[in-house]
């Protein structure tokens, strides 16, 4: 493995299948709402990789001890806070704060046995990526826009509901959507 592990969507599906197997067949569904790059990775974006999957904690439903044990069995780090292993992918749990998504009803991506993967609607993901608007975020926005044809006015409404200062940063970056529309 490289010193900086990066997985594409196909590799992440393999890892998630291992996680689903490690969860076993008994018990309620484990519902994870993936944010960040996951919609691009699992949506087939060429060249997009990530060492982590960001999980939106408020829209997820899981038993922490069970998921942690299964993640470790599947070779994943579970919500590391201090140090990372450069050769191990990880699950990162995100709560509202610097990351803003607005209100949404999760959309099913895939079911892998008891592991049910969801994501926010594309408009919420795009609005969230407008907060940072770094080159990778802009590439993700371009991919999501071309693949899903989001409602740009809905993106604007979501941004308007963010807490400051995220709202101001995302509002300034709405210009990128105008450029992509032309």
Segment 154-164 shows an average pLDDT of: 96
The rounded distance, in Å, linking the Cα atoms of 100 and 156 is 13
pLDDT at 2: 41
The rounded distance, in Å, linking the Cα atoms of 35 and 126 is 10
The rounded distance, in Å, linking the Cα atoms of 37 and 172 is 21
Structure-block tokens of residue 142: 């371009």
Provide CB contacts within 8 A for 128, sequence distance 6+. 35, 99, 100, 101, 102, 120, 170
The rounded distance, in Å, linking the Cα atoms of 5 and 22 is 22
pLDDT at 39: 86
Pairing assessment for the beta strands 90-94 and 30-35 based on DSSP bridges: unpaired
The overall average pLDDT reported for the chain is: 93
State phi, psi for 38 to the nearest 5 degrees: -55, -40
pLDDT in tens, 58-98: 999 999 999 999 999 999 999 998 777 778 999 999 999 88
pLDDT at 124: 97
The rounded distance, in Å, linking the Cα atoms of 177 and 104 is 20
pLDDT in tens, 91-145: 999 999 889 999 999 999 999 999 999 999 999 999 999 999 999 999 999 999 9
Bridge partner list, 33: 118
The rounded distance, in Å, linking the Cα atoms of 131 and 76 is 28
Residue 79, phi-psi category: left (phi > 0), alpha (psi -120 to 50), beta (remainder): left
Predicted structure pTM score: 0.93
Share of the chain above pLDDT 90, in %: 86
pLDDT at 99: 92
**Across 33-42, 81-90, 171-180, which has the greatest mean pLDDT?**
33-42
Residue 92 has a CB neighbour count (10 Å cut-off) of 19
CA nearest neighbour of 102 among 47, 11, 25, 167: 167
């Amino acid at each position: 493995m490289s010193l900086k592990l990066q997985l594409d969507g196909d590799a992440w599906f393999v890892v998630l299948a291992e996680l689903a197997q490690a969860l076993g067949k008994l018990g309620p569904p484990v519902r994870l709402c993936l944010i960040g790059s996951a919609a691009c990775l699992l949506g087939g974006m060429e060249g997009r990789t990530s060492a982590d999957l960001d999980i939106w904690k408020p829209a997820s439903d899981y038993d922490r001890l069970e998921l942690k044990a299964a993640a470790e069995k599947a070779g994943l780090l579970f919500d590391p806070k201090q140090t990372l292993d450069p050769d191990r992918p990880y699950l990162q749990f995100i709560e509202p704060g610097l990351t803003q998504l607005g209100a949404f009803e999760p959309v099913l991506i895939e079911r892998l046995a008891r592991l049910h993967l969801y994501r926010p609607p594309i408009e919420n993901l795009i609005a969230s990526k407008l907060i940072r608007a770094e080159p990778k975020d802009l590439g993700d926005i371009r991919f999501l826009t071309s693949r899903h044809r989001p409602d740009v006015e809905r993106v604007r409404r979501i941004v308007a509901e963010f807490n400051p200062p995220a709202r101001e940063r995302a509002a300034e970056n709405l210009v990128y959507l105008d450029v992509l529309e032309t």
